[in-house]
Amino acid sequence: MSANRSQVLVALGISHNSAPVELREAVNVSERELPSALEKLAAVQGIQEAVLLSTCNRTELYCAVEASHANDDIDAQLTSYLVALHGIPISSLAGHLYCYHDGAAAAHLMNVTSGLDSLVLGEYQILAQVKTAYAAAKAASTTGALLNTLFQNALATAKRVRTETEIGRGSFSIGSAAVELARQIFGETLEGRNVLILGAGKMSDLTARHLQAQGAATIFVANRTYQRAVELAGHLGSVASARHFEDLPALLTSSDIVICSTAAPHPVVTRSLLEASLKARRNRPLFLIDIAVPRDVEPSAAELDNVYLFNIDDLKQVVEKSRAERAKEVDKAKIIIDRAIDDFLIWWRSLEVAPLIVAVRRRIQALGAEEAAKLRAKLPNIGDREAGAVTAAMEALSNRIAHSATMAIKECAGISSEEAAQRLDAIRTAFGVEPDEIDQEGGK
């Protein structure tokens, strides 16, 4: 808005809208890697605040950048950060990254957190994922006033969207979409089918509950940490049982459907493992739905006979019906989001005009004190009481003028940047405030 802006907001990322799963998994940041990744991101020149959001469908960087460094190179610097972090060729990201600045960056986060940018329109898991990413950044001390306010507003807005619209009706999610795909493959219900859940995290928990509702005969839960598998199976009742991860070969032989959602950094269901299980299955088909990023199933497994492999990108067709039903709620959600964006930008602009308010008030007060001194010099014979009255009158007048000026400056926080800049320059000129005075009074 003005020459005194100290920070620029930047959002750079990759998502299911811009890249296939094989590229998303290449830049995915696990929960274990997040602290180190945040430390490296905060060390990029010019970055003063940073949050890193990485889910199965997106990896995004949100940064408050020092204005003097916020030139065209900042996008390239953030791209280079991703390349260095993951050791991938920069050419692989060409045409897949998106970057937003200032208001557009704030709007993107609001839409993401509210589920409007999700594969499953209105899905609610993204709210928890954004909250987790923000908490991790706070724990790493990489946030400040700008990102704290932005993320707190985004989380509050997402909750309003969920409670005041029906965009999240039915709690449809990636997990439920995976189950819907399995139901389409096997018929209206999953009765009589044995299902293996690999992983015992939140996604696995939600998926298992949907499977249970569809009548799966048996649900096996396998996880690297056996106790977590026991806990998840216990929540599901008698239909579920926990299994050790080492039992995977036998489980692949006895299961009809395998839904994979581990946090492993590499495939846990390999082609060779499947080849061995297929012999024991005697050509019975095996359906694998891999909703993990990075992927849990080796992609070449799809080449095997009687193996039907689907990944998270294959769920797009499944969710289209749900998207169409929820789309009519988007306009209601956007009204809430647009107001939240406006409120955030007004708050941000108010920070930008604060230094000018300080400089103008001090200028007015200085002029008032100067005129009071001149008047007392012209009337050397007046007493202390009269001199005090002159000073008090000048201070009162100065305060009234300063109040009007302050209100005029604050009004600029609620209008477009170009018009605001013109008004602020006019006010600054009218009161004889030089640009370097504003910088000095920056209130930092």
Q: What is the pLDDT of residue 314?
A: 84
User: Are 162 and 183 contained in the same domain?
Assistant: no
User: Are 115 and 179 contained in the same domain?
Assistant: no
* Last residue within a domain, chosen from 113, 138, 168: 168
User: Are 357 and 310 contained in the same domain?
Assistant: no
* Last residue within a domain, chosen from 306, 324, 342: 324
User: Are 11 and 153 contained in the same domain?
Assistant: yes
List, for residues 172-227, the tens digit of each pLDDT value. 677 777 777 887 777 767 788 888 999 988 788 878 877 877 778 889 999 999 99
User: Are 19 and 158 contained in the same domain?
Assistant: yes
Is 341 domain-assigned? Answer: no
User: Are 256 and 388 contained in the same domain?
Assistant: no
- Please state, rounded to an integer, the average pLDDT across all residues of the chain: 85
Is 330 domain-assigned? Answer: no
Helix 34-42 and helix 125-139: axis angle, to 10°?
A: 60
User: Are 218 and 118 contained in the same domain?
Assistant: no
User: Are 135 and 197 contained in the same domain?
Assistant: no
Is 431 domain-assigned? Answer: yes
User: Are 272 and 164 contained in the same domain?
Assistant: no
User: Are 313 and 187 contained in the same domain?
Assistant: yes
CATH number at residue 51: 3.30.460.30
User: Are 115 and 56 contained in the same domain?
Assistant: yes
pTM over 0.85: no
pLDDT tens by residue, the chain, 444 residues? 333 467 899 999 999 999 999 999 999 999 899 999 999 999 999 999 999 999 989 999 999 998 877 666 888 999 999 999 999 999 999 999 999 999 999 999 999 999 999 888 888 789 999 999 999 999 999 999 999 999 999 999 999 998 998 887 655 677 777 777 887 777 767 788 888 999 988 788 878 877 877 778 889 999 999 999 999 888 888 888 999 999 999 999 999 889 898 988 899 999 999 998 888 888 788 989 898 889 999 999 999 998 999 888 888 777 776 666 677 788 899 999 999 998 898 888 777 777 777 777 888 888 888 888 888 788 888 888 887 887 888 888 888 887 887 777 777 766 666 677 777 778 778 777 776 666 544 443
CATH number at residue 316: 3.40.50.720
What domain count does the chain have? 3
275 vs 281: CA distance, rounded Å = 10
99 is catalytic: no
Q: Which domain holds residue 265?
A: 174-324
* Last residue within a domain, chosen from 168, 197, 219: 168
Is 429 domain-assigned? Answer: yes
* Residue of 56, 63, 260, 412 with catalytic role: 56
Is 337 domain-assigned? Answer: no
